Chains A and B, each alone.
Chain A
Amino acid sequence: MLPDYDSLAPATWAEALAALAAQPDVVPIAGGTNVVVGMRAGELRGRTLMDINRLPELHGIRVSDGHVVIGGGTTVAELLASPAITEHAYPLHQAAAAFANPLVRNRATIGGNLVDASPAADTYPPLLVLDAEVELVSLHGVRWLPLDQFVLGVNQTERRPEELLRSVRWPLAPERSAGLHHKLALRKGTACSVMSAAVRVDTDQLGRCTAARIALGAVAPRPIRAHEAEQSLVGESLTEVTIRRAAQLAGQACRPIDDVRSSAAYRRRVAEVVVRRLLTAVDLELKEGAQA
């Protein structure tokens, strides 16, 4: 059952920011797929809920100035249906497809998923490999933060109470780049991740890796990048040996816990397997792209 709460429904963006600045315990609510569940469990994050669904500033997916920009209120279902996301952010498309179920996808938003900052949040690994940044807006101004700096720990981010996450953006990928995402759960739909991973590899004309991104979910208190694994690939071609080494390093980067879904040991083990599988698939895709 829900505890008592007050509600606000600002009609304009300015009104919303003013309400946040005036009352520190206002909780913005979009899809409510985390906030309401938390309230039912007795975790009241604030006494006043502010409905931000109808603010036009939070909507829209567009490609401009070499970036993809999406409003923080974009639902996961909208991501899934967007041709721009499929084309320019395929790992995010995959994560959206594996996200909960159609009912939750219709409600849950990208901004909510990022601000909630669950270690298992599905959209973090793909956005981390895409080099995404988040736009935080308050009455005091606007600031952009790389996603890797935005997230701090379990349900903790750099967002200040008076800020709203207005949009997320990332640069269009260069040529000869490919990325993929995979979510491992105990069943196919409506499931929280045991672990998830996204990888992205940029290559030069000779097929050597110029930059690599490997991000992992549900293996640490926050979604992480496996920097050593990424570095091990730079300057190398993707081969069975380099892929295996990178996957091992990615496994070592994990700091997982035992919980209801999995043991820590299993998470570390499958992280390695999943990264190896993703890098192998990315390699195949790059080679096919080179031939075409």
Chain B
Amino acid sequence: MDKPKLNIVGQETRRKDGVARVTGQEKYTPDISLPRMLHGRILSSPYAHARIRSIDARPAEEMGAVVLTWDDIPHVRYNERIITVPSVLHKDHYVLADKVRRMGEAVAAVAAETEALAEKAARAIRVEYEVLPVLLDPSEAIKDGAEPIYDTAMWGTNEIPISGNIACTRNVEEGDVDQAFAQADVIVEGRFNTQKIYHAQMETKSCVCRPEPDGGLTVWPTTQSIHNVRILLGQIFDIPLSKIHVKKVPVGGTFGSSIQMNPPIPICAALALKARRPVRLTLTREEDVHDHTRYAGEIHLKLAARRDGTLLGAEMELVGDIGAHNIQAYSYLGVSIGWLVSLYRLPNVRYHGTAVYTNKAISCAMQGFGNPQVTFAAESLIDELAEKLGMDPLELRLKNYVGLGDTFWGQGPTVRSVVLSDGVPQLLHRGAEIIGWEHRPKPGSQTGRYRRGIGLGRGFHTSSAGAPQPGDVIDFSGAMVKVNTDGSVDVVTALMDHGGGTLEAIAKLVAEELCVPLELVNLAPAETGSTMYDCVTHATRGVYAGGGAAVKAARQVRQELKETAARFLNVMPEALDLRLDKQSGQGVVYVPSIPDRRMTIQEIATRCWTESWKTIAAAVSFRPTNCPPAYVNVFVEIEVDTWTGAVRTVMAAMGSDCGTVVNPVMAAGQLEGGLNKGAGYALFETNEWNADGQVAGGGYWIDAKTAAIGETPRLADFITHFADTWEPTGPHGAKGIGEAATNPVAAAYANAIYNAIGVRFYELPITPEKILRALAAENASDPH
């Protein structure tokens, strides 16, 4: 497809909020201070599993604190994440704990004049607990006789029993799997284990709430979805949505941790309603560390192939550790098989997924939502298969990957679309060239202290969860674009920017469509009352779906500009075109055949104003009807020190097919960040729990060990590159990038380590210790 020429999209530009962010002037939720504001604190459970016998709040109240306990909250069970449609949504959560199911769960909360007094008051509350056995391992939790973490939960509008601590299951079967395996020449299989890790977003979860005289609420939350926070608060507190105003506040990173409404938000709202004063509530880092992690679990994967490398089918069994609450386990089970069948063409597939409750921090989406886990398993097995077949792993991937024209259902069985843009061959060949794929060593052929290896991981993420028909995932966006009296433009959107530059991209897409300079496009402050609904900024959908909405609105504005200018210029609107006049720095509406018949957008807007006519504006909803894969592949060259087991990244080549690259430097930054987070996940990050259910290290960051800048290869040794593609359903040809950048990284490291030392690892993280142990075992069994 011929790509249109772009003026602004694709240029390196400085982000509008950059100066405010790096100079400390940006105002995040904890920076917000209101007149007469109280300070909230949560009384967290010191136990991971306990019944609450009694709560005596009098000591706290005697100190002048407002105290919130079970008796003060609406007894409404809800799910913090409402992206799954209500009919299949599991709900097991209350504003305060009915029973304690993880360490740090909110048992009560207080608000007081100072944070110190609030803390003192919280500690003065007397709680009697009946301590219950703590279940940390899913295989223990599902055993007969294991202490039940839940008796029931809501599923849709029905109360369902929970037995065996199984939150939900999901099965998928397509084609004839038994026949596929019977006909296979080669079968490979493995059991892959992945760990829970903390999101390690910079800003801990936080909220400010102000009760309004009309019985409503104004809320400044840490969130990825202001509209879903509004809906949930409306449901829990039975307030019409028109009286709930949720403000869009810059967020200090999330990595997915604020897709769901954070626990402090409804607690803060309840405190504010009870106190009749504004309240601010911010989690400490230790509280935040106990609040959320990535999904962990065991994946048992089996692939069947013909001798020529054609994949025939797969069987996958997943047992996921979802922690103390079910936030999106049903979706997680659904996407996990989606990731597999959308990586490689697998006409016959059987899948059984089980989500198990444990007394640990709550699992939720984190950069990839199950995708890094499945890709680690699949890409490891594809390498094993290539070795068995004697094929180049790169060729095996090219032969089987889901690409142009194939059906793709990354976001689960109900979200199906067809791939319309595909840069995979370009990316793989270019990456192979950069890393020197042809010269990679033979696995296990080296003997010295330092052993080098090259590994490949390929993957993708979905750009949104869009599809032609509605499924079990809600996915649509909205945007408003209006032209001001001086020709500058306001964009009003509920989308959030988690740091990756999503909103910057939105501004550029609108500037491109309207032919106005980027500096004249304003990202207007926004709240629920002034924005169209947007489900949530997640699923690598910001640029693709949110940008799609903005471009749809801008396109209507563009048409109205033409129609308005047509009247002023006395020509037919169809005869008009728009261009960016670089000399005047203005967008111009003009008649191509009559050069002097033209007006700048400023002239049009000013005249609409002074002639008391109108504001040129459009407000739209937009539902993506496609879900294009944002492909990424990563080649890493690593060096294993066989004396200490340490792995060093020597070089990395990372390629992305994100369609049109909206901002090359920021897109490269996404890839660099993706490698960094992925390397930490692959090599050392883990959250472990002691027998009491406390995160080892107590929640202090010193032992969280997320990868820092020192773990990134020098930029000279880290090459990023982009496919030359155009997504026909995307805004100006763009797709997503964010989560895709981290999904294949762990697999690439596992494959590189195998290439270096001839040992394959099925469990993350691949720590120096595990490497030494494996090498020692190998030496012991080696007769030489």
Residues on A lying within 8 angstroms of B by beta carbon are 1-2, 4, 37, 40-41, 184, 186-192, 260-263, 266, 269-270, 273-274, 277
Contacts and interface: CB of A to CB of B under 8 A. Distances in A.
Given A187-B708, A191-B705, 15 more contacts: A1-B41, A1-B119, A2-B116, A4-B116, A41-B698, A186-B767, A187-B707, A187-B710, A192-B702, A192-B703, A260-B697, A266-B645, A266-B769, A273-B643, A274-B644
A186 B705 contact: yes
A1 B767 CA distance: 33
Contacts of B115: 1
Interface string B750-784: 00000000000000000111001000000000000
A40 B119 CA distance: 12
Given A191-B705, A263-B769, A41 B700 contact: yes
Contacts of A260: 688, 696-697, 703
Contact of A187 (B284, B700, B711): B711
Contacts of B150: none
A273 B684 CA distance: 20
A52 B702 CA distance: 25
B769 A273 contact: no
Contacts of A263: 769
Interface string B269-286: 000000000000000101
B20 interface: no
B22 interface: no
- The prevalent SS among residues of A at the interface is loop
B430 interface: no
B112 to A, nearest CB: 12
Contacts of A261: 703
Contacts of B707: 187
Interface in B677-703: 680, 684, 688, 696-698, 700-703
Contacts of B680: 187
Interface residues of B, number: 30
12 contacts: A1-B116, A2-B119, A186-B684, A187-B708, A188-B710, A189-B708, A190-B701, A192-B702, A261-B703, A262-B769, A270-B644, A273-B643
B120 A4 contact: yes
Nearest to A274: B644
Contacts of B715: none
A189 B706 CA distance: 10
Contacts of A37: 700
B1 interface: no
A13 B678 CA distance: 51
Contacts of A274: 644
Contacts of B286: 40
A47 to B, nearest CB: 14
B594 interface: no
B709 interface: yes
A166 to B, nearest CB: 29
| Among A189, A260, A261, A274: residue with most chain B CB under 10 A | A260
Nearest to A194: B768
Contacts of A186: 684, 705, 767
B140 to A, nearest CB: 21
A117 B39 CA distance: 36
B576 to A, nearest CB: 58
A32 to B, nearest CB: 15
A262 B698 CA distance: 16
A265 to B, nearest CB: 8
Nearest to A273: B643
B772 A266 contact: yes
